[in-house]
Amino acid sequence: MTEVLEMDDKGHKVVITYGTFDLLHKGHINLLRRAKELGDYLIVGVTSENYDLQRGKLNVRQSLSERIKNIELTGLANKIIVEEYEGQKIEDVQRYNVDIFAIGSDWKGQFDYLQEYCKVVYLERTKGVSSTQLRGYINLGIVGSGRIAKRFVPEARFVSGVNVDWVFNPNLKSAEDFADKLELAFPTDKWEKFIQVVEAIYIASPHETHYEYAKAALEAGKHVLCEKPLALTDAQAAELYDLARRQKLVLLEAIKTAYTPGFRRIIGLAKSGVLGSVKHVEATFTKLVRGTTRELDPRRFGGSVTELASYVLLPIFKLCGLNVREVSFLSMKQEGGVDLFTQINILTDNCIGIGKVGLGVKSEGELVISGTEGYIYVPSPWWKPNYFEVRRENWAENRKWCEVFQGEGLRYEIAEFAKLITNGRLETPALLANESIAIAEVIKKFLCGKNVTWLRC
């Protein structure tokens, strides 16, 4: 229950702030201190476990009571309350006659709606907090500063126990602009400096650089979360996983769908026998890309297969298995360009898989898993699964399922990565090494032109 007490500070300027405050560190304390300096009386709202799950805050390690105790020990809070549900902030501001709502600047703009009730102040976050001040946190550095990396940083703040302050790019200006926009302390173009100070890295560089960066990081003793595709050949992928095992390091391919609650539920149901025996899996992922982007550059390994095939192959290999008998492709491309639409046909021992990917042809992005007793239908965008249906011959037996999917979905892969590191485990059932290698093998076959039938757009 949220604490409700009579206020005895009439005439004082009341400030309120909120947070999970897991593994309390110097950055948290600095924020609390600066919030208190804005007024005379500081109220601190600590999120409950249930509310953290509802809002997509993952990997919280300490209990609510432990987090409240840590706030008490700082001596900065005049009152501590529990935040239990969305919309509570407005009620708290009114209940406690709050004058100022204060929050970290990484939330800038997201609480402007409270300006109707009080003054809203976004406090600059503490950059570059040392690892000794972040005991229990994983110091994660980013390789690359493009679009996906820009989405990664805000998502990482929803994962407790992860600190992101370093970004590497051979183009220093790009790294500096990225760090400035996303409030990171340390941009650099010096690989040796970067790899020495981080504990783990997230690779968000162009496809053709993934293998080299991952190999260099693993050889340096760093855990690796790498954007898909992990490698452009199965031999390279297998080499990386073997190196990670020998080094006792975590290597995880960042196919975000694999780690989401919804996809895990879908795979679990399909394997449980609710569909009988799975015989056919069809997944489609298309988007329209225009201009002179990397995705459309054949010299940069662009194209629909390298860009999107990892997603559609994921449920196929999860449910049809890895004993592949035949792989073929029907593909469309412009003269001298990349494939703009490709259908991937996979035949395993007892199952047929069809994956459709496109950058220049738009189709319905659905996932259908067909079995001898029924099928699972996941509507577009199935790769961000929050709703699906189990459908039977008798419609009265149909079931509908809803699952949480928060933000961009990257927080789920980050949380899985952090849990593996923290728990000393090297692999997760969400995406096994041999599944990742199988995906790389299909991509290699396409790039080599094996069993590819080309059609002109």
Q: What is the CATH number of the domain that holds 436?
A: 3.30.360.10
Residues 309 and 368 in one domain: yes
Span 221-230, pLDDT tens digits: 999 999 999 9
Q: Phi and psi dihedrals of 352, rounded to 5?
A: -115, 130
> Which of 375, 379, 386, 404 minimizes the C-alpha distance to 284?
379
Residue 380 structure tokens: 């577009």
Same domain, 330 and 388: yes
Q: Which amino acid is at 78?
A: N
Residues 93, 197 within the same domain: no
Q: Which domain CATH number covers 93?
A: 3.40.50.620
**Residues 222, 270 within the same domain:** no
Q: Are residues 146 and 109 in the same domain?
A: no
- Residues 196 and 184 reside in one and the same domain: yes
Query: Does the residue 411 lie in any domain?
Result: no
Domain assignment of residue 350, yes or no: yes
Residues 33 and 139 both lie in one domain: no
Same domain, 395 and 289: yes
pLDDT, residue 9, reads: 46
- 221 is a domain residue: yes
202, 222 in Cβ contact below 8 A?
Answer: no
- pLDDT for the residue 141: 98
Q: Report the CATH number at residue 242.
A: 3.40.50.720
Residue 419 within a domain: no
Q: Residue 149: inside a domain, yes or no?
A: yes
Which of 123, 152, 181 finishes a domain? 123
- Tell me, yes or no, whether 236 and 115 share the same domain: no
CA angle at 60 for the pair 55 and 65, rounded to the nearest 5°:
100
Beta strands in 85-235 (DSSP E): 100-104, 119-123, 138-143, 162-168, 186-188, 200-203, 223-227
Count the alpha carbons within 13 Å of 91 in the hemisphere toward its beta carbon: 12
H/E segment holding residue 344 = strand 339-348
The whole-angstrom separation of Cα 431 and Cα 10 is 56
The values of phi and psi at residue 110, to 5°, are -80, -15
Number of domain units in the chain: 3
Q: Please tell me whether residues 116 and 149 are part of one structural domain.
A: no
The pLDDT score that the predictor gives to residue 92 is 97
In this structure, the chain runs to a length of 457
- Does one domain contain both 240 and 293? no
User: Is 416 a domain residue?
Assistant: no
Which of 123, 145, 180 represents a domain boundary (last residue)?
123
Boundaries of domain holding 210: 131-255
Task: Report whether 306 contacts 232 (CB < 8 A).
Answer: yes
Judge if 367 and 440 occupy the same domain: yes
Q: Determine contact, residues 181/149, Cβ cutoff 8 Å.
A: no
What pLDDT does residue 11 have? 63
Structural domain ending residue among the three candidates 123, 140, 160 = 123
Token match 């395993």: residue?
A: 348
Domain assignment present for residue 288? The answer is yes
Query: What are the 10-residue block averages of pLDDT along the chain, 457 residues in total?
Result: 41 92 92 96 96 90 95 97 96 97 92 96 79 74 96 95 96 97 95 97 97 98 98 98 98 98 97 97 96 88 96 98 97 90 97 97 97 98 97 96 94 97 96 98 97 89
At 304 the pLDDT is 97
Asked if residue 421 is part of any domain, the answer here is no
The rounded distance, in Å, linking the Cα atoms of 79 and 98 is 12
Measured between alpha carbons, how far is 352 from 326 in angstroms, rounded to an integer? Answer: 10
